[in-house]
Chains A and B, each alone.
Chain A
Amino acid sequence: MSSRDPTKLSPNTPYKLSTTATSSGGGHRSSLSANPTTPQSRFSTSGFSSPGGSSLHQVDEPLIFELGTRFFRAGFSNESAPRCKIGITPEMYGRVGLKGRGGTRMNRRTGEAAGPRIRNTGIEEWELWTNDLRLKDLGVVEDLMERVLREAYNKYLLIESKSKRLLIILPPVFPLAIQNTLSHLLFLHFQPPTITYLSSPVLSCLAAGLRSALIVDIGWQETTITPVYELRPLTSYIKFSSRGSKSLVEVFGQLLWNTIKHPGDDESWWRIFNWSEVEDLLSRFGWCKSSADAREAARQRARVAFGLPVEPAEVEEFNEDGEKIRKTSADIRAQKRREVIGDAKLEVEFKTLLIEEKNTKMQLPFEAMSVAAEYAFFLPSWTKVQSFKGEEGGGYIPVPAVEELMEGCQGRAEYEDESEYTLPYLVFLALLHCPVDVRATCIPRIVITGGAANMPGLKSRILGDLKELVEERGGWELVKTRNKKGDDRQRELVEKKPKKVEVEMLQSEKDDLRIKHAKIGGVAPGTIRGVETMGPWIGGSILSGARIKGTVEVEREKFMSTHRA
């Protein structure tokens, strides 16, 4: 134990280069795609690769680790994708050499063994760490992290851990205890010379090519909304919401279970379904309705609530002056798409070992796959989760009560936590609370990232709802104008709003506008605009590729000398 001094380390075993020159001439894979302006780094890499010195010459280029709750990503700088992405599975919590942990659940009818045991909601063993450390044994987190890191080093990175600096990307708010554990674990077991910690919103911003942005990170445990101004995260303006990918999967699982369960069965869905299967289906096929479609659906629900007949989809539309609008080609395309989506069905099959049928087959309309996102991000959190049974009237989402509609859901006593707010409203609040300069810069630079952002339609939905919200408020106002009472309010909810005519612009006009408003992102002031990002890992790759060193580096010697006790 005492002789952990690296100076006592005997030199590396001399490594003999085999006399094969064939592979060195082979083209680099396209994913490496070296920056054409930095050929020097590549030359130095190959020039110094004499036997024996292999661990020294690569010290400059750090490894980049991103620690998500569900996934661990690691790779080298200056590459366009991480070399490895390791998802956490319950098997990782198990013993080496022990397959499974014995069948401990049982089929409720036959009593046969049915899959491994699960703790609490079963999701804990899919997570690397959680923000809630009250019941979490940090030792387990440490052990698991060590296991994941060892797999990354030994299986994917194939590099000696001692030689590489580390750059670790962490969420903006990360439990200090875990960070401490992580540093200690790394320095003890893997011995990198230094570690630099970077905040993920800044890197997301960087990977979008921006310097200021509002980063909406829809993560697994929570959604974090961080304003970044001139590459500095404004930590005091961060907003959190527990609506995240996890709640998305939870809602979807609940919907599935509600579909097949017998009434009165109070089993939890995660004991019937497997988290991974539910999540996999959602990640493959989950989508999100567009803002206009969702508004239309909400209007139809309001009509049902007030006892009005469901309106058929209108063939003709009128503008503010009551004139008929000629349908544009985009409208026709959208209509066609709606039909395609409406007709599509999908067959899914789940392993449901606990109930009588070991496999449950379901035929779901394609539209059903968009419902989970509605519940998770866009409906009030008290909305009762329905099922996919497909009662008439589009019963995936419950029809709200008339009183709630009339008072606009604002009278609820529960409306006091930010997690209660729908995601677009929280984005609205986050922007509203920012200083006005920051807000002006961030409004045209909303970056939505995180695991759930891959769901098609979600990004534009959040932005679309936000646009509508601002329109409805008449600007960035916290106070809602609510002078409509009774019939007026009902009419507002039930009737279709006249469609606005959008100004069609030529590309040259757009370019002119862009030059004119270059300072605020090339759009007219106050325009809500979303920007795509390549994700924080890529940001870290770019940053370290540009040889920008972190101002604070945790050095191994210093850390270990203070933390040994």
Chain B
Amino acid sequence: MSSFPYIHISCPCNEDRPQTLTIDSARPISPSKSPSKHDFSFPPAAPQTPTKRRTLLAPFTPSVSFDATNLDLDDDEELTDEDEENNFDPRDPRSAFSLFPIENLLYCEDCHQIRCPRCVQDEIVCWYCPSCLFEVPSSTVKSDGNRCTRNCYLCPVCTALLAVIPVNHSTLNPGSTSDHPTGPFNLFCSHCHWTTSDLSPPIQLEKPTSISAQLSKLTHSPQDNEFTRLKQHYAQQLGNAQEDFTNSPAALTRLMGLYTGLGSSSGSHGGGRKGRGVKKLEMKEVDRPREVIEEREMEIVERMAKAGLNATTNAKQRLSQPHEPRFISDLTPTAVLLRTKRSKRCRACRHILVKPESKVQTTRFRIRLVALNYIPSLTIKRLDSTIAWNNLTPHKTHRFLLTVTNPLFDPISVSLLTPRRTPGTAFASRVTILCPEFEVGANTDVWDDALMSTKPAAVTPSGVATPPVAGSFASFSKDPKMSTVYEQKRNYTSVVIEVVPPEIPDTRDTRIRDERLLEIPIYVRVEFEAEVDRDDEEGGGGRPSHSGASGGAVQREKVEYSYWCVVGVGRVGDPVEGVVASEPNTPVRTPVGTPVKAPRTPAAMRTPLRQVRS
């Protein structure tokens, strides 16, 4: 439960998915718009369009009484609601498939786009056993069943690694352990104490090595035999029936049998000779198909009744075995599944995003373009430590600190857009980002930062540490002070985000999705000027911008990208006595029971808006 807050980033691949589906095409598709807010002056960047909201699975309609408190909205807010169509809805069941923590994402330098596991193409570099780190050559991977063929086996009951121990290992003299252990061996699970001797019939190995070869001789399931029988039958039939099936190996064996073993008692070519004159022989069904016998089935029931529940396999154990045995005594050790090292390509431009070293033992990568190094990472903190993530008070203004950290070596300008009222729910919370457009400094050397802290705002490169002029946002906020950033350091900038959750009825019992979960979608748009060092790429990327540096030696291009991210702020709690619906920014009384600390008057809130700590 302490997982709040979290930040998930929506891969842009969910936005340009084709709409070829029959059901979807029946629905009107609204023209793609970007989440423009009336308050912003710049034209909205529209390389991608946010997803259209799917309204089909949102059948919950609120009672009017609950929403009544929110009805006194100003006109401005009503206007923005018409754009709701384009807002990213974190509650949409589809968005669960496109939201990832930033650690799971890659970044394509050529497309300037985030790439999630869905928009990359995997290519296998090598196969190896995760247990013994033995590399398996590609030619034998498939024939080995994608599993380790050495001595790595897993317990079929608890999936722990099995150890090879002699059957009578508790021998009398302890000195013999140093000797070469003798006698039959079995596989032993040190976690659940399962051994292969528990099986019926028990499996005991002669040698402690090359277990796979020994096991394959010892384990024969009836399904395998039946499969072989069926396959032989069909191969025979095909050899008989299809005269012109020259490519078939079955036909080939029949031909070979024709020449070599005329007098042999091989059953297949007797029919073959007979069928030669006929164009097509009728295929026969298998001789003596296995019949359903009541006696056999009831024997299983009797065995179940005798053995009890603990002798049967559960769903997980059953699925991990090839033939889904019913009883624990029928389980066989499973060989460790191989793993692969894979390189990943961008699906759109085919550039390699990840390329690991092909040696199994190394964990290094030749190429690794993870999104963490390219896109600014967001973190959210409480401004007031009395806020309980799991129990936000309705109608109270919660202030959080949203920090944008820049991993790039160029300063970036960030604009954050968020719907005023969280979309996708009937109980929308009001969200205000106090300073939606700001700059984040470059990720320069840490040493610079140390120097900077002594001499504030002087040595920083251009564009950093000059907070946006408050006047330019006069249209956005009534209070010009509110639009300044909260804190700005070397490569991060913090802004205040205010959230006013509404009163939400407890819908836990009405089997509807979690209405109280408060997730804020934020549209992040990043602009920066990057040095172009690729001479070969003429047509790619953006236009060279006006700010070409001195001498034109270093060409700079303007890069911009944008994405939606979802901030999981917390869960809205039960309404608190005394906290009632009010104006968005007026202070409210602290809830009963919480320690009265850090007086939250409006003045107190506004004063600590320092730029750089001096």
Contacts and interface: CB of A to CB of B under 8 A. Distances in A.
Interface of A: 1, 3-4, 8-10, 12-13, 15-18, 20, 23-24, 26-33, 35-42, 45-46, 49, 54, 58, 71, 76, 78, 80-83, 85, 87, 93-99, 101-106, 113, 117-120, 133, 135, 137-140, 142-144, 146-147, 150, 153-160, 176-177, 180-181, 184, 189, 206-211, 271, 276, 279-281, 283-285, 287, 290-291, 330, 334, 337, 340-341, 343-344, 346-348, 366, 445, 448, 454, 456-460, 463-464, 514, 521-522, 529-532, 534, 538, 541-542, 545-548, 563-565
A46 B21 CA distance: 42
Given A105-B508, A341-B305, A460 B292 contact: yes
Contact of B315 (A16, A95, A276): A276
Given A45-B139, A97-B6, A546-B248, 6 more contacts: A1-B16, A24-B137, A58-B142, A98-B568, A184-B18, A287-B301
A87 B297 contact: no
15 contacts: A20-B137, A24-B139, A36-B232, A38-B249, A96-B100, A139-B21, A143-B97, A143-B98, A144-B97, A158-B124, A285-B312, A457-B298, A529-B291, A534-B227, A547-B248
B167 interface: no
Contacts of A159: 124, 142
10 shortest interchain CB distances as A-B pairs: A209-B286, A530-B292, A49-B139, A81-B322, A460-B294, A80-B227, A344-B305, A143-B97, A97-B101, A456-B300
A8 B348 CA distance: 12
B298 A23 contact: no
A283 B248 CA distance: 41
Contacts of A337: 298-299, 301-302
B294 A464 contact: yes
A113 to B, nearest CB: 7
Interface string B117-161: 110001111110000001111111111111101100000000000
A340 B93 contact: no
Contacts of B233: 209
B6 to A, nearest CB: 7
B358 A16 contact: yes
A291 to B, nearest CB: 8
Interface string B325-336: 010000000010
Interface of B: 1, 3, 6, 8, 16-18, 20-24, 54, 56-57, 93-94, 96-101, 103-104, 117-118, 122-127, 134-147, 149-150, 210, 212-213, 216-217, 219-221, 223-224, 226-236, 238, 247-250, 252-253, 283-286, 288-295, 297-302, 304-306, 308-309, 312-315, 318-319, 322-324, 326, 335, 337-340, 342-343, 347-350, 358, 508-509, 511-514, 516-517, 568, 571
Contacts of B512: 119
A76 B123 CA distance: 19
Contact of A156 (B127, B146, B217, B290): B146
Given A13-B343, A94-B96, A209-B289, A344 B306 contact: yes
B290 to A, nearest CB: 4
Contact of B141 (A158, A276, A285): A158
B252 A13 contact: no
A280 B302 CA distance: 19
Given A20-B137, A37-B253, A139-B24, A26 B511 contact: no
A154 B134 contact: no
A36 B225 CA distance: 12
A340 B104 contact: no
Contact of B340 (A76, A154, A522): A154
Nearest to A462: B292
A283 B219 CA distance: 25
A135 B314 contact: no
Nearest to B315: A280
Contact of A538 (B96, B98, B227): B227
A133 B57 CA distance: 12
Contacts of B143: 28, 32, 42, 45-46
Residue from B56, B141, B298 whose CB has the most chain A CB atoms within 10 Å: B298
Given A87-B315, A98-B6, A13 B125 contact: yes
A290 B150 contact: no
Contacts of B144: 23, 26, 28-29
